[in-house]
Amino acid sequence: MRIPFWSRLRLAPRIGIVIVLTLVVTTATDKIMGIVIGMPDVLFFEKTWLVDKVAETVQRAEQTDRDDWAVVLKTLPAAQWLDFVETAEPPITNHWEQDAFRIFREDLARRLGIPVDDVLVRTVDTEGPERALTPIVIILESIPMLITNLIDDDTDKMVVEHMRIAVRLSSGGWLMISPKSDGLEAARFVRNLLVPIAAILLICGLSVWVARSIARPLTDLSAAAERLGRDREPTLLGNYGSPELEAIADSFNEMQHELKRFVDDRLQLVAAISHDLRTPLTRLRLFAEYLPDQEQRRMVLADIGDMEAIVSSTLTFASHQLNKETPETVDIAALLISICDTASDAGCAVVYDGPDHARITCQPVSVRRAFTNLIDNGCKYANSVKVTLGVTAELVRVRVSDDGPGIPADQVEAALRPFVRLETSRNRDTGGSGLGLAITDEVIRSHHGELVFAPAVPHGLEVTVTLPRSAGR
């Protein structure tokens, strides 16, 4: 669903809105999780009261039979705020950072009349109620007291969580005293774990969404440019819902149409000129037949033949650009065998190596012309040509190798350009229009294939053509 307001926004405001939305949703998630699970209790204890109650509980534990301890425990006044558990070994070690807890430990040991080492205190500084897992304990020297004074005191403040007090009993066991738990420690731990994970997932999700909204038009632009270069067919870009991207898409679409018209107009011109040249060339051939000098007649007819070959190649090149065939399923093996047989009948030493049948979807006339050009080039410049066909489930690979002079690696790109000839002699046996490889390259690229030139061993040229088996679709 498109939002009119959103579609009119530029990219910068969109990114800003997404960032603010991420912060709002993350904060809201944190607050909602805090409301659902709830913060732990905050317990205020006066230091003297806490020392007295712990001492009284220890004394009652010393005087009470173990069988009656559970019943007596329920009657203790401090049981409303504190949990008491008797253990064989102390589950904690001393840990505190403020002098206040050292003094508290000494006061408790003095009140009980036991060595200080028989009193253990364990505390953890709290990060605040929103992140605390267990009840937060605030121990006050006296009441009344300003809480701000207590919090601002970095040396003697007694605002902690996970507070545990252990006192050694005369029996050798230990009495563990801790703030009364509400049983939600595990839930708060999960909450504290899930909130940052949810925030990370939300940030990643919105970031990916924004990135894709920017990258998708660029990907489409790249694909359209690649198709325009390969098939010379415009691929119109759609509506991307952003003023900047809309402007880019409109400009690119207009450019595609202009390029298409430009190329088609010039190809039509080339095709028309090539077609119209055939008639005067035919008349020239007829006049040449009446030349009295046999050597002159031969030379004139040879030049006319060269001109006709150039005109025919140019017309073929232009026609291929303007008129696209309908793809068909053909037997590429039979097609290659047929081309090799034709070349052999013309006196070229051509060998085919491969399966007898292999079907692909392609434009058959264009593909035949492309492989004919490759094999004919080999026959012109080499003594022997070998055509090898390899077939897999997804593609076919055709190698045309010869023992000729080859093409230097730095001249391959030039050889694929129209009307470029690496062999500059006037010899008709090796001459040409310079369109054979250009047509072949155009055909292979239009079939989403690949044309690779490499030196053959020990010398010569190896041309590898890779085509997908559904190349023409």
For 20-52, what is each residue's pLDDT tens digit?
A: 888 888 888 777 777 777 777 787 888 888 888
Question: Does domain 42-183 correspond to CATH entry 3.30.450?
Answer: yes
Domain ranges, ordered by start, for the chain: 4-37+191-219, 42-183, 232-323, 325-473
For 62-83, what is each residue's pLDDT tens digit?
A: 777 777 777 777 777 787 888 8
Res. 241: pLDDT tops 50? yes
The more confidently predicted of residues 300 and 323 is: 300
Q: Are 106 and 16 in contact (CB under 8 A)?
A: no
SS3 34: helix
* Confidence at residue 338, expressed as pLDDT on a 0 to 100 scale: 92
Confidence of residue 465 (pLDDT cuts 50, 70, 90): very high
Res. 221: pLDDT tops 50? yes
Res. 426: pLDDT tops 50? no
| pTM tops 0.95, yes or no | no
SS (H, E, C) 358-399: CEEEECHHHHHHHHHHHHHHHHHHCCEEEEEEEECCCEEEEE
Res. 427: pLDDT tops 50? no
* Confidence at residue 421, expressed as pLDDT on a 0 to 100 scale: 62
Range 88-103 average pLDDT: 67
Res. 425: pLDDT tops 50? no
Res. 310: pLDDT tops 90? no
Range 222-249 average pLDDT: 73
Res. 251: pLDDT tops 70? yes
* DSSP 8-state code for residue 356: S
Q: Give percent of the chain with pLDDT exceeding 70.
A: 82
For 139-169, what is each residue's pLDDT tens digit?
A: 777 666 566 655 555 455 677 778 888 888 8
**Mean pLDDT of the chain, nearest integer:** 78
32 vs 21: CA distance, rounded Å: 16
Confidence of residue 428 (pLDDT cuts 50, 70, 90): very low
| CATH T-level fold of 325-473 | Heat Shock Protein 90 (3.30.565)
* Confidence at residue 472, expressed as pLDDT on a 0 to 100 scale: 52
Burial of 163 (0-12, 13-18, 19+ CB in 10 A): buried
Range 351-371 average pLDDT: 89
Q: Are 137 and 122 in contact (CB under 8 A)?
A: no
* Confidence at residue 246, expressed as pLDDT on a 0 to 100 scale: 75
The CATH class given to the 232-323 domain equals mainly alpha
Sign of CA dihedral 442, 447, 448, 451: negative
Res. 417: pLDDT tops 90? no
* Confidence at residue 432, expressed as pLDDT on a 0 to 100 scale: 53
For 379-411, what is each residue's pLDDT tens digit?
A: 888 888 999 999 998 899 999 998 888 888 778
Range 407-426 average pLDDT: 68
* Confidence at residue 137, expressed as pLDDT on a 0 to 100 scale: 81
β-strands 450-455, 395-402 pairing: unpaired
For residue 418, cis peptide bond before it (omega within 30 degrees of 0): no
Q: Are 54 and 105 in contact (CB under 8 A)?
A: no
Tokens of 368: 């035949």
* Confidence at residue 248, expressed as pLDDT on a 0 to 100 scale: 79
For 283-298, what is each residue's pLDDT tens digit?
A: 887 878 778 888 887 8
The more confidently predicted of residues 147 and 173 is: 173
* DSSP 8-state code for residue 425: S
Q: First-to-last CA distance in the chain? A: 33
